[in-house]
A and B are shown apart, each in its own frame.
Chain A
Amino acid sequence: MSSRPVRSAQRLAAATCLAGLTLALPSLAEARPNGPGAFCEQYPSSPDCLGRLITCDTCHDSTDPVLWNSYGTAVTIALAGRDFDTYLSEALAAVESEDADDDGESNLDEILIGTNPGRAESLWQPLPEPTGLDNPWYSLGEYDAVLAYRRMSALYCGQSPDYATLESVRALSPSEQRERVHEDLALCLDSAYWRGRGLRELADPRVRPLESVGIETEINLYGALLALADYYWDYRLWRYVLSDDRDLRELLTAQYHVIEAGDGTLERIEGEQPNPFLGGGQPLEPEHRAGMITTQWFLVINTMLSPIPRTTAAHALRSYLDMDISRHEGIFPVAGEPTDIDNKGVKAPACAQCHSTLDPLAYVFANYHGIKYPTDNGKYDEQRLVGVIDGWEPDSVTSVVFGESVSSVPEWAAVASESIYFRRAMTNMFVEHALGHSAMPAEMSELAALVETLPADGYSANRLIHRIVDTDAFGAP
């Protein structure tokens, strides 16, 4: 304890020197987008590399202008001006035993438990044991099937169990209670509530409906309804894929569409669907389809009129891979990028940090119209940018997803849907919904196990939910 002020003073002095060095050598002040990847090679068991996503925040308070937090400062000092890629591993190891943010936990302990070693407020300590008389209502610290039943019913049936139901659960043995949780969970996952509103609400931030240009619009444009696309196609596909033990990778790979029968049953249909208005159908040929990220609505609302649909790629990344590139998440720089093919100035150092990843993600989406009057919204057109961007030819740029070159959106979607990031994103989505919060350090091991079981469960959302309900994070009060 007594060494803390000394260490702090040393760190302050070192940081002051570093600041001076940074000002003197501007080239040092470039962010290192390959840092997160190297970090995870060094610490593969860190929760940030297993169930969550490593970001620049681990070392930086800001990447433009570049500002390091205390951990980033310590690592930079340990690098001592040597080549970043070559010596990062050594520098990380050199500061493992230090406590950069002075919160009482070493850098290594924080990395392994999933808190930020450069921010004192990011701290987690084991939960204290409950003390006092035995609690007659809850099994504290262990799985409580009655509590789990109540939570399960509220989340997936849309209402709490009534008195008679809960009394019947209470009367069972613990093992019978646990069986009952799963029996009734299966019924809830088949209920109109979950198949309708419950699943729909999970899709809202991904679909991002906008009534004024959707199928229910009341706006007229030169006598035609301004229905540019119909987002209910998106919701139906989402609900269909995430129910009945279907493979949730089809969110990104489906080449079919889904309609709703009069009784509410969802039915798969094949082929192109004509537009009833300016838009509102699904006119895209099946071979160019890639689930949720090529619906007419997705392309209309994200691409709109953009030549290079960066927003489209970024929203696909955010929605299905849990990577918000505007927050420096999911940075996988591609050598030689960005080429700045449309002269938007993205080669500037501050922009290139993200655009070296984003632009190669976006190129394949450029062959799809966003809004195209009068009735070509969301259609595929390999010549779309010919004559729009000087020098553009269909093969003039190469798309890259997680280091793999792809030549089409279906290929893009295939790589994405097979990635660990997709599994994490989908698992995180259901876990956060079930717990009401992101997984905390004590819950990270259960989260990582859920991510691992998804393939063996056939990528079924329902089976994933059954496993979530079985975790202590869900059922232990």
Chain B
Amino acid sequence: MSTLNTTAQSWGLALAGLCLASTLGCSTDTDPDIEPEPEIAASTRNQLLWKRVQVFEQDLSRALELAPEELCTELGSYDCVNDIHLVNLGGHDPFGRSQYAPVAAPMVTTPLAVERVVIAACSKRVERDHDERAVFTALDFGSPAPAATSDAFTETVDTLYRRLLSRDPVDAEYEVLAELLVDDQGEPVLAERFAAEACVAVATTTEFIFI
């Protein structure tokens, strides 16, 4: 049962992250009569550096104060990062698998592996924070998520951006994460659900996975 619950929760979190990414990345306003607002200049080089398995693991581990081996295990036994999803995450295994070099670029299955590890790690951090507050110190678990205007919300978003992206969030990013405070019916979600979904949303951004 617990595996099923975890799977369902994982999908929910993944969908939340996807919705958030869509909101951040696209504008739905397509009225041709409205003059589009000038956009901020973007790089034309199209050359990002992929944070491969070691850096991805270390960054997530440090941000969430979990030991690397605690981030994610498959079937409760197998290390997701350094064993099961090693190749998808940009690593290679010369000794056991005679794979002498990593793949050159992210694979089709890389986003799945990244989400798998991030969802597990964020869920683990929320679970751990019930007893041992380390990351979500401003939230009152067991209670509804705080209001978007509250200090608790601001502090939580600041914490996630500083820990995962090493910078402060901008206004638009607060607005996007505020959408995770309520469910589809507009009712406040529990604080721990908001914590987990916000964590997944920030840790699966392009900015966290590439430099």
Question: Are A197 and B54 in touch, CB under 8 angstroms?
Answer: yes
Question: Are A160 and B42 in touch, CB under 8 angstroms?
Answer: no
Question: Are B40 and A436 in touch, CB under 8 angstroms?
Answer: no
Whole-angstrom distance from the CB of B51 to the nearest CB of chain A? 6
Question: Are A132 and B39 in touch, CB under 8 angstroms?
Answer: yes
Is A150's CB within 8 Å of the partner chain B?
A: yes
Is B47's CB within 8 Å of the partner chain A?
A: yes
Chain B residues positioned under 8 Å from A456 (CB to CB): none
Chain B residues positioned under 8 Å from A136 (CB to CB): 40
**Most chain A CB within a 10 A radius of its CB, from B43, B54, B96, B101:** B43
Chain B residues positioned under 8 Å from A159 (CB to CB): 54-55, 58-59, 62
Nearest residue, chain A, Cβ from B168: A163
Whole-angstrom distance from the CB of B77 to the nearest CB of chain A? 22
* Complex-state Cα separation, A165 to B162, whole angstroms: 11
Interface stretch (choices A17-25, A202-210, A330-338, A344-352): A202-210
Q: How many chain A residues touch the partner (CB < 8 A)?
A: 41
Chain A residues positioned under 8 Å from B94 (CB to CB): 204, 207-209
Nearest residue, chain A, Cβ from B90: A436
Is B92's CB within 8 Å of the partner chain A?
A: yes
Whole-angstrom distance from the CB of B156 to the nearest CB of chain A? 15
Whole-angstrom distance from the CB of B98 to the nearest CB of chain A? 6
Is A224's CB within 8 Å of the partner chain B?
A: no
Question: Are B166 and A163 in touch, CB under 8 angstroms?
Answer: yes
* Complex-state Cα separation, A140 to B41, whole angstroms: 8
Question: Are A160 and B51 in touch, CB under 8 angstroms?
Answer: yes
Is B75's CB within 8 Å of the partner chain A?
A: no
Is A276's CB within 8 Å of the partner chain B?
A: no
Q: A132-B39, A134-B41, A154-B49 are in contact. Are A209 and B95 (CB under 8 A)?
A: yes
* Complex-state Cα separation, A277 to B45, whole angstroms: 53
Q: A128-B44, A159-B62, A436-B47 are in contact. Are A166 and B166 (CB under 8 A)?
A: yes
* Complex-state Cα separation, A208 to B98, whole angstroms: 7
Whole-angstrom distance from the CB of B96 to the nearest CB of chain A? 6
Interface size class of B (residues with CB under 8 A): 20 to 34
* Complex-state Cα separation, A163 to B51, whole angstroms: 17
Question: Are A127 and B39 in touch, CB under 8 angstroms?
Answer: no
* Complex-state Cα separation, A477 to B210, whole angstroms: 12
Is A133's CB within 8 Å of the partner chain B?
A: yes
Is B141's CB within 8 Å of the partner chain A?
A: no
Chain B residues positioned under 8 Å from A436 (CB to CB): 47-50
Q: Which of A124-146 touch B at CB < 8 Å?
A: 127-136, 138, 140
Is A37's CB within 8 Å of the partner chain B?
A: no
Question: Are A150 and B211 in touch, CB under 8 angstroms?
Answer: yes
Q: Which of B24-65 touch A at CB < 8 Å?
A: 38-45, 47-51, 54-55, 58-59, 62
Question: Are B44 and A138 in touch, CB under 8 angstroms?
Answer: no
**Most chain B CB within a 10 A radius of its CB, from A134, A147, A201:** A201
Whole-angstrom distance from the CB of A111 to the nearest CB of chain B? 24
Is A112's CB within 8 Å of the partner chain B?
A: no
* Complex-state Cα separation, A207 to B94, whole angstroms: 9
Whole-angstrom distance from the CB of B33 to the nearest CB of chain A? 22
Question: Are A135 and B51 in touch, CB under 8 angstroms?
Answer: no
A161 CB contact (under 8 Å) in B100, B101, B166:
B166
Chain B residues positioned under 8 Å from A193 (CB to CB): 54
Chain A residues positioned under 8 Å from B98 (CB to CB): 208, 210
Question: Are A204 and B100 in touch, CB under 8 angstroms?
Answer: yes
Is A395's CB within 8 Å of the partner chain B?
A: no
Q: Which of B95-109 touch A at CB < 8 Å?
A: 95-96, 98, 100-102, 104
Question: Are B44 and A129 in touch, CB under 8 angstroms?
Answer: yes
Question: Are B166 and A158 in touch, CB under 8 angstroms?
Answer: no
Q: Which of A289-344 touch B at CB < 8 Å?
A: none
Other than the given A162-B62, A211-B96, A436-B47, 18 more pairs (CB < 8 A) read: A130-B41, A130-B43, A132-B42, A133-B39, A140-B43, A140-B44, A150-B166, A154-B49, A154-B55, A158-B58, A160-B166, A163-B163, A166-B167, A204-B92, A207-B94, A208-B98, A210-B98, A437-B104
Can you list 13 contacts pairing A with B, beta carbon distance less than 8 Å?
Answer: A129-B44, A130-B44, A150-B166, A160-B58, A160-B166, A160-B211, A162-B166, A166-B167, A193-B54, A201-B102, A204-B101, A435-B49, A436-B47
Closest A-B pairs by Cβ, 3 of them: A132-B41, A159-B58, A130-B41
Which residues of B are at the interface with A, using a C-beta cutoff of 8 A? 38-45, 47-51, 54-55, 58-59, 62, 92, 94-96, 98, 100-102, 104, 162-163, 166-167, 211
Which residues of A are at the interface with B, using a C-beta cutoff of 8 A? 127-136, 138, 140, 147, 150-151, 154-155, 158-163, 165-166, 193, 197, 201, 204-205, 207-211, 214, 435-437, 476-477
